[in-house]
Amino acid sequence: MNPDRTDPLQAHLAGFRADSPVSGAVLVPGSKSAAQRLLAAAAVARGRTVLEGLPDAADVVGALRCARALGARFPGERRGDDPLAAALLRGGGAGEIEGAAPGAQEGPRPWARLEPGESGTCARLFTALVALARPEGSGGEVVPAGTLVGRASAPLFEALRKAGAGVEPAGSPDRWPALFTAVVPGGALELRRPSSSQEVSGLLLALAAHPGERQLRVLGSTPSRGYVDMTAGVLEAFGGSVRVGPLASDVDGEAGEVYTVRGPLTAPSHALVCERDASAAAVALAAGALSGGAPTSVEGVGLGSLQPDVAITRCLEAFGCSAEGSDGGRLVITGAPTRGAEVNCEPFPDLAPVLAAVAAFCASRGLGSSTLTGLGTLPGKESDRIAVLARGLEAMGLSVDRGPAHLEIGPGVGGAEHGAGPVLLDPAGDHRMVFFAALLSLFRPGVRCLDPGCVRKSWPGFWRDLERAGGTLSWS
């Protein structure tokens, strides 16, 4: 079937013209990271939660499906197979959820089938909930799709086994799809050397779903630790509490943290508003910087946000841009990059594709080399992001040194004319690699992205939103 030429999501190739500056206020969706946490908490909270500002991203659809599978209800829904439309009131971004709190129903509940789609966040949060926040003896199957199939979460699976839950992977050990038989957690859980902050967040949500006080002992450092703070903020909005302190250990690499969690979670009396997505804001702000440097802003998320990716302002400042005007309610960037930079991305790995595009701008303009470190979690994302980024940068004629946790990006050996021809970038089904390619196309003629529609995962309106801000679309 021929692609609908009025819709870049249906195109085979897409990009922006390199002479089309993005500027002004850019509309970005609500935070999918916040939305998934809000939906997970609402699904196991007592009472009816009112949510506003939810994005219609595919990852949020997955969280809605999983919430329904746990037993949450969407009051006023018309179709039982349409949780997105029901919860978002036919696209209004607001809805109500009646939680299925542990203990609200005596005896085991029907076996649940949870379908998180391709979202690792959704899979980890709801895996913990189906195993630890349902009545004893209830069961659930977590069945992923796409790039999530076969991805591992060994520390989480092991923590659930130690808690007494049944864990039965359908194929390879510690990977989805898997079956879980629920157990009421005891007074303390242990998570050893987490591979993702989402594992910590899922267990905190599950513990807070129950009345009383419990502890989670995390042995070893937590990647992208700031996302745990986001989860703690959500728990507090639902009446729970989280205290955290250091956990000493004589074993190398196992000094960590101990979390004291108090529940239960209760729906707040007021509506909870999902703030705008800082990861999407980073793309928008970088687009302004790379396409001319005119003042570019995003409203609805600011420097006071718990989302780690608000660090985009100080990262772009490291490349020579100005963040003057950013405050508690908006982020602003002015000016084009003027120099290369060294950035440790460990606290905010989702910024790596954006910063790689900024580094490419600097290298291609003779403004210096850049180094991105702290990328150890990137190979386990929707794609092997280090490899995909390196291929795209090399296709532009830039020099790239890459390792398991770093990228060094510099000018190409052949100079400015090297690699000046068309560049077709394959995002490997990864929405953030589409953003990377789109940013490159704003300053490098001939860059086009294959499979532009995979941005549905987090920002379905991406191409049109940047077009409204000044970008000139080109697709086929």
Contact present, 26 and 296 (Cβ < 8 Å): yes
pLDDT digits (tens, 9 = 90+) for 305-364: 999 999 999 999 999 999 999 999 999 999 999 999 999 999 999 999 999 999 999 999
State the Cα–Cα distance between residues 452 and 432, nearest whole angstrom.
Answer: 11
pLDDT at 18: 93
Q: What number is the average pLDDT over the span 224-244?
A: 97
Confidence of residue 2 (pLDDT cuts 50, 70, 90): very low
Rounded Cα–Cα distance for residues 250 and 400 (Å): 39
User: Could you say which of 261, 285, 309 is where a domain stops?
Assistant: 261
What is the chain's mean pLDDT, rounded? Answer: 91
237, 261, 285: which is the final residue of a domain? 261
Is the model's pLDDT at 420 over the cut of 70?
A: no
In the chain, the N- to C-terminal Cα span, in Å, equals 13
- Per-residue pLDDT at 334: 98
> Tens digit of pLDDT for each residue in 139-190?
899 999 988 887 899 999 999 999 999 999 988 889 999 999 999 999 999 9
Work out the pLDDT band at 84, boundaries 50, 70, 90: low
CA distance 99 to 110: 16
Is residue 417 scored above 50 in pLDDT?
Answer: no
pLDDT at residue 326, rounded to an integer = 95
Q: Is the pLDDT of residue 43 over 60?
A: yes
86 pLDDT above the threshold of 50: yes
Position 266 in a domain: no
Winning range, highest mean pLDDT, from 47-51, 62-66, 104-108, 238-242: 238-242
314/183 same-domain check: no
Same domain, 281 and 252: no
In this prediction, residue 26 carries a pLDDT of: 97
Query: Does the residue 231 lie in any domain?
Result: yes
pLDDT at 82: 58
Round to whole Å and give the CA distance between 97 and 129: 16
pLDDT band of residue 200 (cuts 50, 70, 90) is: very high
271 within a domain of the structure (yes/no): no
The confidence score (pLDDT) of residue 111 equals 85
- Give yes or no: residues 18 and 37 share one domain: no
Bigger pLDDT: 418 vs 182: 182
Domain assignment of residue 24, given as a range: 8-29+276-475
Count CB atoms within 10 A of the CB of residue 417.
Answer: 8
- With 0-12 / 13-18 / 19 or more C-beta atoms within 10 angstroms meaning exposed / middle / buried, residue 427 is buried
Same domain, 61 and 21: no
1 falls within a domain: no
Residue 101's pLDDT is what?
87
pLDDT band at 73 (very low <50, low <70, confident <90, very high): confident
Query: Is 400 within the bounds of a domain?
Result: yes
Residue 269 domain-assigned?
no
Domain boundary residue, one of 229, 261, 293:
261
219 and 92 within one domain: yes
> How far, in Å, CA of 475 to CA of 9, rounded?
10
22 and 36 share one domain: no
Instruction: State whether 213 and 344 are in the same domain.
Output: no
Whether residue 385 is predicted with pLDDT greater than 80 in this model: the reply is: yes
Look at residue 89 in the predicted model and tell me its pLDDT: 45
pLDDT at 3: 42
* pLDDT score at 1: 30
Which CATH number do you get for residue 382?
3.65.10.10
Tell me what percent of the residues of the chain surpass a pLDDT of 70: 92
Residues 252 and 239 in one domain: yes
pLDDT recorded at residue 4: 45
470 inside domain: yes
3-class SS of residue 52: strand
Residue 387: pLDDT over 90: yes
Question: For residue 421, what pLDDT is reported?
Answer: 72
pLDDT of 92 reads 64
188-192 and 212-219 beta bridge pairing: parallel
What is the tally of structural domains in the chain?
Answer: 2
Q: What is the pLDDT of residue 79?
A: 57
Residue 131 CB partners (closer than 8 Å, separation 6+): 140, 160, 163, 165, 166, 167, 180, 181, 182, 183, 206
